[in-house]
Amino acid sequence: MAGIGCHGMTTWMPTRNTQTITHMGGEGANWIGQAGFATEKHVFQNLGDGTYTHSGLLAIRAVAASGVNITYKILYNDAVAMTGGQSAESGFTVPQIASQMAAEGAKRVVIVSDEPDKYPDMSLFPRGVTTHDRKDLDLVQRELRDISGLTILIYDQTCAAEKRRRRKRGLFPDPQKRAFINDAVCEGCGDCSVKSNCVSVKPLETELGRKRVIDQSSCNKDFSCVEGFCPSFVTVHGGGLRKVSKSSVSAQDPFGGLPMPAVRPLYEPYNMLMTGIGGTGVITVGALLGMAAHLEGKGCSVLDFTGLAQKNGGVMTHVRIAPAPEDIAAVRIAAGGADLLLGFDIVGAASPVALARIEQGVTRAVINTSMTPTAAFVTDGNIDF
């Protein structure tokens, strides 16, 4: 069962058999009522460490008191990942959470991790707690499934997106290793996407059909894509990515010879809709335009829709600029009301919600025609963007 957090996205993946979602802090409590009427004898409940700290602990207490058969999978990913990687408020460690769970009456507590040896001193944990490699996750789950009452699996692995960010800031160890796919060998079977479930495995369109490429800028160096025993993979140890030299960029400046455009007089609100995905700069450009309008003494509103931006999801920003603040009565651009559509990502620009805001003969559009695969490519390698 799902709850509030990135893991809730699994409810959109039919192959995962993850069902129902609750409000934050209700995770698993619905099973107290359902268990007596269901043919299933046991369920797994996902719960992030941020939600655990916020209020999920209380749901676990209620479930423990009820006596239903349930295993909480507490994802200790070391960040409130969905909203930008903030720290979970309590700063609880894995041994502390394990101790809390034992005190709440858990029948068994296990730790599963990508680094199973990271706790050499098990005296930090309550008696009976064991650690396991993530390769054994399925085996461990099968064992917990057959234990009556409350059981706890703490999955200890730093959020992949957060690892990548911290590495860029020099705050996390950066393995001197990179994975590449030799497209001359790749047959495009898609097994690397299945093995890794990773959005950095991207399509590479060739005259011999769709193959795969690893996006080096978004790769979080988890290397689970390599686990499929595919001869296409090449790992480079100790090398680095070639940097584009600044001189070659300025020599090819595509905007170098353009004249300054005529500034359009502003008599009424001018409406700009921007669409993209997380990381394409939609929020940044909206903020820059908004601040620029503010500094010029104009009226301005900026409305951001970020949703799942942290996980390559869609982002949309409505920017309205008017002669004076009182000229703007609503911050959302109405249907057919966009004067300009800036499409940072073509899939987002062509989405029904964006198209509903454009009007023939009114809206002008500037679209980035580069195809960025959607997250659906992970589960459907033949998807037609």
State which residue, 186 or 358, has the beta carbon closest to ligand SF4. Answer: 186
Which residue, among 64, 66, 69, has the nearest Cα to 105 in the 3D structure? 64
Q: Which stretch binds ligand SF4 (CB under 6 A): 88-96, 131-139, 183-191, 368-376?
A: 183-191
Q: Which stretch binds ligand SF4 (CB under 6 A): 91-99, 180-188, 313-321, 355-363?
A: 180-188
The verdict on 190 binding ligand SF4 (CB under 6 A) reads yes
Cβ partners under 8 Å of residue 257, min gap 6 = none
The verdict on 204 binding ligand SF4 (CB under 6 A) reads no
State which residue, 49 or 191, has the beta carbon closest to ligand SF4. Answer: 191
* Number of residues forming the site for ligand SF4 (CB under 6 A): 13
The verdict on 8 binding ligand SF4 (CB under 6 A) reads no
Cβ partners under 8 Å of residue 214, min gap 6 = 178, 179, 180, 181, 200, 201, 202, 225
CA angle 39, 42, 48 (to 5 degrees): 135
Among 25, 26, 126, 228, binds ligand SF4 (CB under 6 A): 228
The verdict on 181 binding ligand SF4 (CB under 6 A) reads yes
Residue type, 201: V
Please, are residues 43 and 113 in contact by the beta-carbon 8 Å criterion? Answer: no
The verdict on 378 binding ligand SF4 (CB under 6 A) reads no
Q: Which stretch binds ligand SF4 (CB under 6 A): 132-140, 227-235, 303-311, 326-334?
A: 227-235
The verdict on 230 binding ligand SF4 (CB under 6 A) reads yes
What letter does residue 133 receive in the DSSP assignment? Answer: E
Residue type, 271: N
Q: How far is the CB of 381 from ligand SF4 (least distance, A)?
A: 7
Residue 170 half-sphere exposure, CB side, CA atoms within 13 Å? 0
Which residue, among 349, 11, 381, 41, has the nearest Cα to 202 in the 3D structure? 381
Q: Which stretch binds ligand SF4 (CB under 6 A): 42-50, 188-196, 313-321, 359-367?
A: 188-196
Residue 203 bridge partners (DSSP): 212
Q: How far is the CB of 215 from ligand SF4 (least distance, A)?
A: 13
Among 115, 136, 187, 205, binds ligand SF4 (CB under 6 A): 187
The CA-based dihedral angle spanning residues 249, 254, 257, 259, taken in that order and rounded to the nearest 10 degrees:
-130
- Return the residues of window 279-308 that contact ligand SF4 according to CB under 6 A: none
Please, are residues 21 and 47 in contact by the beta-carbon 8 Å criterion? Answer: no
State which residue, 164 or 211, has the beta carbon closest to ligand SF4. Answer: 211
Q: Catalog residues that contact ligand SF4 under the rule CB under 6 A.
A: 181, 186-192, 211-212, 228, 230, 232
